[in-house]
Structure 1
Amino acid sequence: MLYFSHLLEDEDTKAVIRETGMGVEAIEFAISENLNHLNEKIFSYQNRLKDMKCKNLILHGPFLDLNPMTFDDKIQAITRQRYEEAYTAAKALGAAKIVYHTCYVPDFYLLIGWAERMAAFFEEFLKDKDDSIEVLMENVLDRQWEPLKETAKRVQHPAFGLCLDIGHAHCYGEDSCAQWAKELKSYIRHVHIHDNMGNKDRHLALGEGSVDINAVMRELREIPKCTYTIECSTREAVMTSYEILKKYVCGIEIDKKQRKCYS
């Protein structure tokens, strides 16, 4: 299943849904101000989704100023509160998945004990939840894939998994994003798709940067029922990425010299 991020105006979002049948990954509930007026925003977004004829939904959770692995119990409490509020919205709107950032900041937070604390946070967060909504942890500034893998190993809940952001892995990771996909694919349930030149997180259309999408998709196509969100901020970039991505999802590898069908 393919999705695209609701970074576009509603009319453009509606047009892309009509043209492609893709679902939407909402960013409405990643914003703290909206969480302050949760019921009102759930109601208004419900109506917007209906107008856009969106049938498939994922939510992006809040992340600014939050930190799941913090040693400060008050910061952890507000992080959990914001996560709960976004989860409430996901439940009310019928979202299939909700994505939360790791919130890791290199050179500021130590990795010693990081996975243990992240796992403890998510196990507590998931204690009263069923598996109707997948709860996914996304890499952002993370340089190494090992802590994410260790966290995923430790969280013993059927709803928990990883969201691999290939653009983030490409410009922040120490290994290639194909290597990230290879090492994490046992836990990956969702993927964020965008491109860059490896030096800045630019959210370009596929093919406009230097991500080796062939190498990445060779790994990701082995994941059953994996879903993908195109994270680009213009309609043109979304459609360009869609035309490329749908070929991979259908089992076709794009190459400058040839196309090879895996099916």
Structure 2
Amino acid sequence: MKEPKTQYSDLLAKVQINIPYRYLKDRYLNIFLEHNANPEIGIDADTLDTTPLLDFRRITEILKKHNRKITLHGPFMDLVPGALDRMLLKATRERLERFFEIVPVFEPESVVCHTGYDRRHYRENWEEWLSRSIETWKPFVETAERLNFKLLLENVFEETPEVHRALFDAIKSDKFGFCLDVGHHNVFSRASLKTWLDALGDKICEVHLHDNDGKEDTHLAIGKGKVDFVGLFNYLKQESIKPTITLEPHQEETLWQSLASLHLLWPLDD
């Protein structure tokens, strides 16, 4: 975010930009403030283990002072919320509990997490996986209801929307919803984007935008790969769905390229 792309200032104020907490704190905080950008702050396990609560409070106070909208992305590496191994399940739940303990500090509008489901591992134990996953998420949905934020489950390795649909049907709450990652869908899903939209359209609260060639999750700029962004935004407009839009650039230059493309796809008056 080095160059002053002032023509995108209005658009920047309407979207979230995913960024790990350590990068925001050490390098990008002032740049976010200068550009009126809103962070989706990624909190990983190492950040949870090494960051004093006062540091989280300080960053939040600065962002809130500048009227920035905050969303969060929870830890996901090595976590399996429906793990069959009880030791792994216990470790996953403890890690998520630690994360949700610090969530109130940020006063986020939403919190994104992963289901941890991979059909290659759990296909033959689907019912048991689902039961354990439901028990994992129930208390965190209750936390979301109590603190008034949305807990959103993102698609990653899920090949179809059935996993998310089963979880949302089991835990009914308007604070429990879906984060559609179109880049992940393009690489990992066997079902069409329309199938996902039709199955989960009523639960879509956030959309993660990045592109790829359908082979690797490369987080290219919007328009540089094969993701059907036109179809996505046509559907959202047709169904009057207005989710939080989050960009996930892995390089600074792809942010500006994505904003240029998004400006054409998503008029500000929509």
CA contact (8 A) 1:119 1:152 kept: no
CA contact (8 A) 1:101 1:139 kept: yes
Aligned residues: 248
Deviation sequence 1:183-233 (CA, Å, 0-9, x none): 211111111110000000001110111111001112233354410110112
Shift in Å, 1:242: 2.1
Of the three residues 254, 262, 270, the one matched with 1:245 is 262
- Provide structure 2 residue ranges, at least 5 long, that are not aligned to the other structure: 1-13
Structure 1 residues 248 and 22: alpha-carbon distance in aligned structure 2, compared to 1, 3 A threshold: farther
CA contact (8 A) 2:229 2:265 kept: no
Deviation sequence 1:81-131 (CA, Å, 0-9, x none): 221222222211111111111111231122631444433321243345525
Structure 1 residues 51 and 200: alpha-carbon distance in aligned structure 2, compared to 1, 3 A threshold: same
Q: Which residue of 1 aligns with 2:55?
A: 44
Q: Which residue of 1 aligns with 2:171?
A: 155
The alignment partner of 1:81 has SS state of: helix
CA contact (8 A) 1:70 1:76 kept: yes
**Alpha-carbon distance in 2 for matches of 1:185, 1:192:** 15
Q: What is the TM-score when the length of structure 1 is the normalising length?
A: 0.83
CA contact (8 A) 2:113 2:152 kept: yes
Of the three residues 62, 79, 89, the one matched with 2:75 is 62
**Alpha-carbon distance in 2 for matches of 1:187, 1:241:** 25
Amino acid at match of 2:109: A
Structure 1 residues 44 and 223: alpha-carbon distance in aligned structure 2, compared to 1, 3 A threshold: farther
Shift in Å, 1:137: 0.7
Amino acid at match of 1:243: A
Percent identical among aligned pairs is 25
Q: Which residue of 1 aligns with 2:18?
A: 5
Shift in Å, 1:17: 4.8
Structure 1 residues 131 and 180: alpha-carbon distance in aligned structure 2, compared to 1, 3 A threshold: farther
Q: Which residue of 1 aligns with 2:100?
A: 87
Does the alignment pair 1:112 with 2:126?
A: yes
Write out aligned runs for 1:118-197 (5 A).
118-127=133-142, 129=144, 130=146, 132-197=148-213
Structure 1 residues 50 and 244: alpha-carbon distance in aligned structure 2, compared to 1, 3 A threshold: farther
Amino acid at match of 1:122: W
CA contact (8 A) 1:5 1:229 kept: yes
Stretch deviating more after TM superposition (164-173 or 87-96): 87-96
Stretch deviating more after TM superposition (145-154 or 200-209): 145-154
Does the alignment pair 1:33 with 2:46?
A: yes
Amino acid at match of 1:43: L
Q: Which residue of 2 aligns with 1:199?
A: 215
CA contact (8 A) 2:236 2:242 kept: no
**Alpha-carbon distance in 2 for matches of 1:93, 1:219:** 32
Shift in Å, 1:11: 4.4
**Alpha-carbon distance in 2 for matches of 1:183, 1:67:** 24
- Provide structure 1 residue ranges, at least 5 long, that are not aligned to the other structure: 253-262
**Alpha-carbon distance in 1 for matches of 2:83, 2:97:** 17
Structure 1 residues 195 and 14: alpha-carbon distance in aligned structure 2, compared to 1, 3 A threshold: farther
Alpha-carbon RMSD across the aligned residues, in angstroms, is 2.5
Amino acid at match of 1:231: E
